[in-house]
Structure 1
Amino acid sequence: MRKPLTDSVRSLVLILLPILLAACQTMPAPKGFTPAQVATLKAEGFVETGDGWALTINERLLFATNESALKPEQITILETTAKNLVSVGILTARVEGHTDSTGTAAYNQTLSKARAQSVARALQTSGMRFDADQIIGRGETIPLSPNDTAEGRQDNRRVVVIVTPPG
């Protein structure tokens, strides 16, 4: 004949054992960005898109016609942005350069890549790292605005920085 206490202990062990074993399992890494990373992306002007988080198009990433060099104030802003991203563990991004439709497609492809490289260099000085395939020239293939006005062409002379979560 079993004692009631022994039966109670046995039942408790049978209930707790699966719970303890489940707690010992390795949990998969969380997908997406942490709340701190999302807050930093938003503070730096990134917006969530279907392709990740993209730095919004504004004066800091627009270029003059036939130019790929950044102004000193643009470099300073990008360096600060990179420091803030690195501080929350965002260490890399995709950098896409674009042009308007002025000039040949081959010239615009080269110019757009040079623009992307300029932005990537500024971000690298503050700790971000890029593989060659993350610095992309898109040429005139993805316009934001029609190229038939000066304003539209200005919108299209840009670089977009796109951050996606690891994994």
Structure 2
Amino acid sequence: MKKTHFTPVLLAMAVFISACSSMPKTTSLLDQTRNDYAAAQSNPKVASYAPLEMKQATEALDQANTAASNKDNAEKIDKLAYVAKQKIALTIEVAKQKSAEADVANAGKERDQIRLDQRTNEANQAKISADQAKLAAQIAQGETADAQRKAQMAQDEANAAQRQTLDAQARATQLEAQLADLAAKKTERGMVITLGDVLFGTDMSRLNPDGMRTAKKLADVLQQNPQRTVLVEGFTDSTGSAAHNQQLSERRATAVRNALQEMGIAGDRVALRGYGEAFPVAGNATAQDRQLNRRVEIVLSDASGKVAQRN
């Protein structure tokens, strides 16, 4: 009687245990990574500007999901989830940078066309002046020599205006292309180049190889535009003490200035400020937002070398 009574209970428990053992494992980090991946998938900029990075992030997340399905240990699942999370963050950052580059390039073309139209109008006006001077020379034969000189001067001005138009257009095109390559953004303070946290060692002030390559591009811009200066501003997230964050932001700004000086840029052309956790560009609740706040912003001066200070 007892055997007949307990057998169905034991069978039910066995089925329950078997079902539980077949369920894939998961961790909080893996769940966060899946959420980050879903957000990246819904971001239209990712599909347009970072398809390769998204593919790599997908492959990394697939590995983490496979480990969860195989019920591997939590440490292995978290390691794979962390790699996937970093690749997802890199995907979003690449999409943002390339989108910003496209915006800068489009804005640059519009500005170039405005400058070209302005110079063309000046050249046309100068040519009209030259034609009027020639006509005056024909009418006033007694003043032929003087009229010819005026006509020549006007023609010279027209030629000079045309040369200035071509030179200005070439310089503007070159500068806009260089700034687009640096993903510079136009702000009320001028063009701003942002060095993200991924260009520094973790919680370190030393630029990594990618960061040094970015610094080299900026040094090239400054060497080709000797009238320009820069203000290097360091920022951190809110993690850690305020003193530590202030020091880290100053060290990172100093690292950028030192790199530029090593590449031949005079120290008096590079000012720096450290703001610690002040002026965040995102919240500090998630790792992704904190990474956005850990940055160095480089403000390019106007053509006279002046940089607008932060309000």
TM-score (ref. length: structure 2)? 0.41
Matched, 1:42 2:42: no
Q: Which runs of 5+ in 1 are unaligned?
A: none
Structure-2 change in CA distance of 1:133 and 1:103 (3 Å): farther
Partner amino acid, structure 2, of 1:84: D
Structure 2 partner of 1:64: 202
CA distance in 1, matches of 2:176, 2:139: 53
Structure 1 partner of 2:281: 144
CA distance in 2, matches of 1:87, 1:60: 26
Tell me if the contact between 1:47 and 1:54 (Cα under 8 Å) persists in the aligned partners: yes
Partner amino acid, structure 2, of 1:160: E
* Larger relative contact order (Cα-Cα within 8 Å, sequence gap ≥ 6): 1
Q: In structure 2, the residue corresponding to 1:116 is in which secondary structure?
A: helix
Q: Which runs of 5+ in 2 are unaligned?
A: 1-137, 162-167, 305-311
Instruction: Report how far residue 112 of structure 1 moved.
Output: 0.8
Structure 1 partner of 2:295: 158
Q: Which structure has the greater CA radius of gyration?
A: 2
Tell me if the contact between 1:99 and 1:158 (Cα under 8 Å) persists in the aligned partners: yes
1:9 to 132, 142, 147: 142
Structure 2 partner of 1:110: 247
Matched, 1:51 2:189: yes
CA distance in 1, matches of 2:189, 2:225: 19
Tell me if the contact between 1:92 and 1:128 (Cα under 8 Å) persists in the aligned partners: no
Structure 1 partner of 2:92: none
Tell me if the contact between 2:197 and 2:291 (Cα under 8 Å) persists in the aligned partners: no
Instruction: Report how far residue 95 of structure 1 moved.
Output: 0.6
Instruction: Report how far residue 147 of structure 1 moved.
Output: 0.9
Instruction: Report how far residue 99 of structure 1 moved.
Output: 0.8
CA distance in 2, matches of 1:74, 1:105: 28
Partner amino acid, structure 2, of 1:122: A
Alignment: residue pair count:
154
Structure 2 partner of 1:77: 213
More helix by share: 2
Q: CA RMSD in A?
A: 3.4
